[in-house]
Amino acid sequence: MNFFVRSGIALFLIVVHCCVNVYALDSSRSSEIKECSSGEVSTWGDGTDKSVPYSSINFLYIHAGAPAWFSEKLVTGLIQRAASAWTECGISAQTSLGDQPPHYQISNEIVIEWSDAKSQGNIGASNITQKRLYLSPGVFKTLREIRPTYDASYTLQMTLSHEMGHFYGLVAHSRRCVDVLSYYKNNAGDLCNIRDRAEFSKAVEYRSALPTACDIQRCRRINNN
């Protein structure tokens, strides 16, 4: 059975908040991104983290099917930025380009491609067994139709960082609001953890676009790095 992980990033939140500056950081949120205090690493318990069997990862990006407003150069740059941030986990990474999925796959190669069908209605999804990371052009199209002036590159960066984290062994989603591996609440209405709840409403998108100190600490812990 394929191990399929869906993104914890909700389109609803993106649509509601997209017309404000998502890059603005208050000091509280900024410190949460950079610091990981004792006892802060926490997950929703929706999966079991597992160490990865390789010391490096190659992310092979296939640009076919991408929304026209996302250039190959832009997306590749965002992948490289996320990969560079995740190397703090102790597992190196590189990015390469391809025209189509390979007929065979190198053991440490993760293919990133655009597919509405394979992302199954999610903005992003990861098939751990098949080593595929899927992005949804349809969701980004909907976002653009609703908010045509919004720069969705932040959302794409966050989605890539989130999904790539699953391939570093972080299967469970973080319960810490600011972590890139987080989602804000579960189906029961339980809320994510935050140092100062009053700060949550001040940031347009509280989740970081790149792995936080706690994301990295958790990754290093499960991979013994």
Q: Indicate which CATH number applies to the domain containing 121.
A: 3.40.390.10
Tokens (6 digits) for 175: 């319960």
155 SS3 class: helix
Confidence of residue 224 (pLDDT cuts 50, 70, 90): very high
Any bridge partners for residue 43, and if so which?
174
Q: What 3-state class would DSSP assign to 205?
A: coil
Using the Cα atoms of residue 49, residue 131, residue 185 and residue 179 in order, give the sign of their dihedral: positive
User: Which range, of 33-47, 62-76, 84-98, 195-209, averages the lowest pLDDT?
Assistant: 195-209
How would you class 134 by CB atoms within 10 Å of its CB: exposed for 0-12, middle for 13-18, buried for 19 or more? buried
Res. 50: pLDDT tops 90: yes
Bridge partners of 163, per DSSP, are: none
pLDDT-derived band at 27, boundaries 50, 70, 90: confident
The DSSP secondary-structure symbol of 47 reads S
Q: Print the domain residue range for 167.
A: 4-222
Per the structure, how many domains does the chain have?
1
pLDDT of residue 42: 96
Q: Please state the pTM of the whole predicted model.
A: 0.91
Q: What is the dihedral of CA 180, 60, 2, 50, to 10 degrees?
A: -50
- Whole-Å CA distances, 204 to 38, 142, 152, 188: 27, 19, 13, 23
Task: State how far the Cα of 142 lies from the Cα of 137, in Å rounded to an integer.
Answer: 9
